[in-house]
Amino acid sequence: MPAKKKIQHRISKEDAELFISYVSGDAGFTISSAMKSIAHLQTAATVKKKKKDVFDARLDLHGLRREAAYLKLREFIYSCSKKGLRTVLIIHGKGSGALQEEVHEFLEDSVYVNSFCFASIRHGGSGATKVYLK
């Protein structure tokens, strides 16, 4: 039987304080309200666990200079937004960080971008950026 993965869950500070006050006996609430809070945390953790990185499109900028990468990126983001795509992956590599900096500066100023972050490790980590389009 394969070993089970250890799953780490992040909870809000408010939920953590609520749990600590319950365990220490300082709580001013019932066990049923604590159980509802725990059930909420379990549901959120389950949803987060099932969510996978799925990209509508990818752009690989490896080996390009900043100017060429900027032009490709601008066209790519515009095209994806026009097509109604919502989640895209931009692979810029790690290198000196110049290309990553160019990509992030463009994304910060783009009217088509809702938000962005580094990709998960399996998709390139800090060498790739996950972009959520409007």
Out of 33-37, 75-79, 92-96, 108-112, pick the least confident: 33-37
Q: What is the pLDDT of residues 82-130, one digit of tens each?
A: 999 999 999 999 888 889 999 999 999 999 999 999 998 888 898 999 9
Q: Which of 39, 36, 73 has its CA nearest to residue 58?
A: 73
Q: Which of 72, 78, 75 has its CA nearest to residue 91?
A: 72
Which domains are delineated in the chain? 13-50 (no CATH), 57-133 (3.30.1370.110)
pTM given for the model:
0.61
Query: Tokens for 1?
Result: 């039987």
Strand partners, 89: 58, 130
